[in-house]
Amino acid sequence: MYFTEITLKNFRNYKEQTVSFHPNVNIITGNNAQGKTNLLEGLYIMSLGKSFRTNKDVEMIGFEGDFSCVKSVYIKEGRERSIEIILSRQGKSIQIDGCKAKKSSDLLDNAYIVCFTPEDLKIVKEEPEKRRKFMDRELCQLKPVYYSTLARYKKVLMQRNSLLKSESLNNELMEIWENNLADYGSRIIIERMNFVEKLKIISKQLHSSITDGKEELDLFYESSVPVKGSREEIKEAFIKKLNKERKRDIFRGSTGSGPHRDDLRITIDGKDVRNYGSQGQQRTAALSLKLAEVRIIQEEKKENPALLLDDVLSELDKKRQKFLINSLSDVQLFITAAETKGELWNSLPERKVFVVENGRVTNDTQVAG
C-alpha cells in the first residue's frame, strides 16, 4: 500500500494543508520546529489511531481550534481508499472509506505504517517498557484482536492493583480479577512469543548482512510468568504465581508478575547488548529489528507498509544508511532530514522533495528528480 495524499486541518502547526505524495520516496526538509515531524505524525495516526510521540491525542489539536481533522488517501490492492480522523477534546471519530467506524480499533488492519525515529535507536538499551511497546505496536497492526486483549489486560491490572491497595481485601473479587488477568495475560504472552520467534529469524539475517556475517544477533522473550506448554498451561501457571505473590503485591501495592513486566532480551554473540553492546552494535541491532518489522508486515499481510524515517538517517553511518535505503526499494518512504544534498540522496532516483516552513509544505522542484 502507499499514500497518495494527506490533508491536515488544524493539526499541530498546520492550519490547512494538502500534500500529494510520491509512491516511492518522499523527502521532507526544512529548518527545525517547522512541522516535519508533525507531517509524519499525521500519517502515522492512520495506522493505529495514535501518535508515536504522545499518548495524549489532544496534544495534536492545533492551538487555535477545538478539533483537528486529518484525511489520507491511499492505494491498497489497486483500489483507492481513505481514512479520516477527527480529534476533539471529547475523543476521536474515524471514517474509513467514507463510513463512520464504530470503535477506534476498526481502524486497525487498514493502513500499515512502520515508524523509525532516533528514539527507536535506543530501543535496545533503554528500559524494558520501550521494548514491550515495540512488540505491542507491531502486534496491534498484525492482529487487531491483540489490541483489545491488551486493553482488557490493562483494565484488569488496574482493578487488581486498586484492590491490592484497598483496606479490606475481598478475596472472591481478587480471584475473579486474577483469573481474568491470567486469561488475557496468557494470550498476550503467547502472541508476543510467536512474534519474537518470527522477528528473531528475520532480524538475525539482517544483522548478519549489515555486519558482513561478523555478528550474530539473537532474541528471547523473557517472561515473568513460567511459559512452558499451551496457553491454558501458561494461564494456570500465571494464576498460581499471582496467588503466591499476593502478599508481596499487597505490600507493594502493585502486581509484580505478568506481561506488563516482561522483556525482549537481545544478544549479540551470546552477550546481552543492553549491558555489553557498543553504541554501534546497539544501533545495528535496532536497525535490524525495525527492518524485520517491515518484513513481517509484508509476509503476514502481503502488503508493503509505508515507512517513516524521522531524522534517523543522519544518526546512522554511511554503510548503515545505504543498507537501509537499498533494502527498502519496495516500500513507500517518508524521510525527514535537515540536509538533503550528497551521495545518498542522489542515489534515490525517483523521489519528491518537500520543504516545510512554519506549517506550510511546498514542493521543491529544483531538487526533485
State the residues that interact with ligand ADP by CB under 6 A.
12-13, 30, 32-38, 59-63, 356
Q: Cβ of residue 315: shortest distance to ligand ADP, in angstroms? A: 14
34 binds, among Mg ion, ligand ADP, none (CB under 5 to 8 A by kind): ligand ADP
Phi then psi for residue 91, to 5 deg, are 140, -165
Residue 102 to residue 95: CA distance in whole angstroms:
9
Specify the length of the chain in residues: 369
Amino acid at residue number 24: N
Least distance (Å) between residue 105 CB and ligand ADP: 25
Tell me how far CA of residue 147 lies from CA of 135, 140, 213, 297, in angstroms: 12, 5, 37, 16
The answer to whether residue 51 forms part of the interface with Mg ion (CB under 5 A) is no
The residue behind cell 475523543 is 91
Q: Which is nearer to Mg ion, 37 or 105 (CB)?
A: 37
Q: Which of ligand ADP, Mg ion, none does residue 290 bind to, with CB < 5 to 8 Å depending on kind?
A: none
Least gap, CB of 153 to ligand ADP (angstroms): 31
Nearer to ligand ADP, 30 or 49 (CB): 30
Chosen from ligand ADP, Mg ion, none, partner binding at 63 (C-beta under 5 to 8 Å by type): ligand ADP
Q: Distance from CA of residue 261 to its chain's centroid?
A: 19
Q: Report the distance separating Cα 195 and Cα 185, nearest Å.
A: 15
Residue with Cβ nearer ligand ADP (38 or 224): 38
Name the minimum Å distance from CB 33 to ligand ADP: 4
Residue whose CB is less far from ligand ADP, 63 or 213: 63
Shortest Å, Cβ 155 to Mg ion: 34
Considering CB distances under 5 to 8 angstroms, the limit depending on partner class, which of Mg ion, ligand ADP, none binds residue 38?
ligand ADP
What letters, b where the CB count within 10 A reaches 16 and e where it falls short, cover 285-303?
bbbbbbbbbbbbbeeeeee
Q: Name which of 185 and 359 has its Cβ closer to ligand ADP.
A: 359
Contact 27, 352 (CB under 8 A): yes
Question: Least Å distance between CB 35 and ligand ADP?
Answer: 4
Report 8-37 residues binding Mg ion (CB under 5 A): 36-37
C-alpha cell at 57: 491525542
d(CA 156, CA 174): 10
In the complex, minimum distance from the CB of residue 39 to ligand ADP, in angstroms, rounded to a whole number:
7
Q: Count Cβ atoms below 10 Å from residue 173 Cβ, excluding itself.
A: 13
| 13 versus 203: smaller Cβ distance to ligand ADP | 13
C-alpha–C-alpha distance, residues 144 and 104, integer Å: 11
Q: Which residues bind Mg ion (CB under 5 A)?
A: 36-37
